[in-house]
Structure 1
């Protein structure tokens, strides 16, 4: 892994990583579920749930950021294959976001109903699978395997931290956002994130195909 530092490359890659991770986490899409699950909770309890959920998201993403590539190497999965698979998965999630079904690939209405009265909603269903679901995990692993520069590798971790902070502030403002934006406003934001994420997922697929078929795709 190289250690050369390019300021423009570092900041552009950091921005790309933040957009990618935050878009797939999509806390705006989780607002209706969070409001529904916590409607009978006090403000103090809601803040506690949000903090715990953010910690869980950070822990999950950091784990797969650090060890995801190793796990896939153990199973003999090629980096190019991982990028293509991650891109396909992200494209499915992003298409659902564009068409207004952000959680179709993550959880069902029956699961949400079953979990509503459980104590640990900070972990399930908020942290897993609504926020840090398979798409978010695939994004982090794909980003981490796509770089060979130590500074760019660190940029991904920085992006995870920034994205988790952003998730926290979105959820902490969920009552206001739900009231002033409404379902339509939240739906528009979620769809815009879906379009951005779809473009990023296509780029992941292209990069993966270039690794798998270097002689054909130059």
Structure 2
């Protein structure tokens, strides 16, 4: 989780005149969603992949493509695949796209499944859960106060950060795609 980077992305999606009270609600709803998503994945993530016969690397490739589209959109000056230009209440954007897939995307999904595989006992699972929840709380406080960053930076600063984050998200997306494709190719060629 990258709370500072995600806050910049989220602020570019939310309406430009969002109030402190609205951002508090969005931060709360987003954090609650990612905590619920964590427990759903840790309990049933492997099962879902097995049922559909999906390799984790396929998730990496698809997630990389989605992130690449968002990155291109951010670099071109729009706020991502989804914006608040249609007048949606900011709270509606808290779950999709902010919580899922921006905060809780394929990378986090894959990481949770990998950590679960490495867990040897219930104590290991408990420590993974506690660590994730602590990260979620840190994310909540940073995201909740991100409106101050937006006010400090102004419109130009926010545009610069959005374009820089677009470059970073684009680089991450390419890394996801390459990693997933290379691993899938190796497994199918052997």
TM-score (norm. length: structure 1): 0.64
Q: Does the 8 Å contact 2:35/2:133 carry over to 1?
A: no
Does residue 1:55 correspond to 2:31, yes or no?
yes
| Inter-partner Cα distance in structure 1 for 2:25 and 2:187 | 51
Provide the C-alpha distance between the structure 1 equivalents of 2:30 and 2:187, rounded to a whole number of angstroms. Answer: 43
Helix, strand or coil: the match of 2:60? helix
Residue among 57, 75, 91 paired with 1:80: 57
Q: 1:195 aligns with which of 143, 167, 174?
A: 167
Residues 41-90 of structure 1, C-alpha deviation per residue, up to 9 Å, x if partnerless?
Answer: xx6x4475155224334325414542344323221112222221121112
- Inter-partner Cα distance in structure 1 for 2:174 and 2:65: 8
Q: TM-score, normalised by structure 2?
A: 0.71
Structure 1, gaps ≥5 residues long: 1-17
- Corresponding position: 1:143 with 2:111: yes
| Pairs within 5 Å for 1:1-218 | 18-19=1-2, 23=5, 26-31=6-11, 33=14, 36-38=17-19, 45-46=21-22, 48-50=24-26, 52-63=28-39, 65-66=41-42, 67-103=44-80, 105-107=81-83, 109-110=85-86, 113=87, 115-116=88-89, 121-122=90-91, 124-125=92-93, 127-135=94-102, 136-145=104-113, 149-150=118-119, 158=131, 161-162=134-135, 165-174=138-147, 176-214=148-186
Distance 1:157 1:53 in 2: 19
Aligned mates of 1:217, 1:183 — CA distance in 2: 50
Contact 2:41 2:112 in 1 (8 A): yes
Given the superposition, is the C-alpha separation of residues 202 and 59 from structure 1 closer, same or farther in structure 2, using an over 3 Å criterion?
same
RMSD: 3.6
CA distance, structure 2, for counterparts of residue 142 and residue 77 of structure 1 = 12
SS for the counterpart of 1:109 is coil
Contact 2:9–2:165 (8 Å) recurs in 1: no
CA distance in 1, matches of 2:154, 2:28: 25
Aligned length: 182
Label 1:35 to 1:101 Cα distance change in 2 as closer, same or farther (>3 A): closer
